[in-house]
Amino acid sequence: MVLPLPAEYLNLVNAQLVTKNLGLVAKHMPGVKINYIKVGGGGDMLRAIAADQIDFGGLGNPPTAIGVARGLPIKGTMVLNMLDFVEAMVVRTDAGIKSFKDLEGKTIAAPFGSTTHYLLLQALADEGIDPASMKILDLRPNDIAVAWSRGDIDAAWFWEPNLDKAVKDGGHIFMTSGIMEKRGYPTWDVGVVMNEFADKYPTYVEKFIAAECEGIDYWISNPAETAAIIAEELELSLEDATRMMRGTEMVPCEKQLTAQYIGTEEAAGGFVDTLIATSDFLVSQDRLPEAPSREVFETFLEASWLQTVVAAE
């Protein structure tokens, strides 16, 4: 097979960092070199997929809905993580922002096409606030941190580890992705594989998933060791890494095959419903011209590889 194998990972607090750090993909794929590529968010991941630059990656539900609607040649493989306060909206303490209404006339940043951009628009819609009443900038997380330090923005909805920098520099948490989940808007990241690679090397897809599942199990069973890995990978203090881990939920791979998550080949799970709701909202916000059908999303989520991996454990 072609070497090295390009795999993009999201620069956030999840078990992909464990899989990478411990060399678990190499363990499950002896002789295959993995070329890990760090990306800032779902928009960057979609561009890499469209340019055929990767074989494996990860997407939140909004960029997943966008990618599927655009007909990108990908399949969903597994749940990478569920998002809680590892993603949040931070506002300047001195900006006088006490409610979403107070955002009118302010400058807010979020990576367009990401889970946080979707939640920002959803929160504004729920409050009956026109996004045009404020200036919303499309910035990557690193660029948001820079803009915040310069005082260019009043608020931002993005994720750790850059989120913590804004909080420590005159900000406070205004809303979290976990609270939005309780309001009916769950956000998560799903593993994806390019169709061409999956068609050629289905057993390698299973091996890659097995490596990610081992990383998730390690995260759950070894929190102290995992915190040290997260601290190393993201250049954080151990205290910050431990705190950020609490804002990300890892779902054991066996549990991912239940009705709440991906489901099985025979019966699709709740992720399909989330993708439908997400795409319908994106259409209402003119972010998508048309929402894919349920059948399209059910076809996108391919549970067979994960079922094989779980059955072999």
CATH classification code of 87-182? 3.40.190.10
* Whether 215 contacts 16, CB under 8 Å: yes
Sort 151 into a burial class: Cβ within 10 Å, 0-12 / 13-18 / 19+. exposed
Task: Tell me the pLDDT band of 39, cut-offs 50, 70 and 90.
Answer: confident
Of 161, 111, 103, 147, nearest in space to 129 by CA: 103
The pTM for the full model equals 0.91
Task: Tell me the pLDDT band of 10, cut-offs 50, 70 and 90.
Answer: confident
pLDDT over 90 for what percent of the chain? 90
For the cut 70, the answer to whether the pLDDT of residue 2 exceeds it is: no
Determine the Cα–Cα distance for residues 140 and 10; give it in Å rounded to an integer.
12
In tens, the pLDDT along 18-35 reads: 999 999 999 999 988 888
Determine the Cα–Cα distance for residues 73 and 192; give it in Å rounded to an integer.
10
In tens, the pLDDT along 266-288 reads: 999 999 999 999 999 999 988 89
Q: Which residue has the tokens 């992705």?
A: 177
Domain edges within the chain: 5-82+186-312, 87-182
CATH classification code of 5-82+186-312? 3.40.190.10
Determine the Cα–Cα distance for residues 50 and 59; give it in Å rounded to an integer.
13
2-11, 92-101, 210-219, 244-253: range with lowest mean pLDDT: 2-11
Q: Look at 44 and 301; give whichever has higher pLDDT.
A: 301
Shared fold status for 5-82+186-312 and 87-182: yes
Of 62, 189, 72, nearest in space to 113 by CA: 62
Residue 64: its pLDDT value, please?
97
Residue 32: its pLDDT value, please?
86
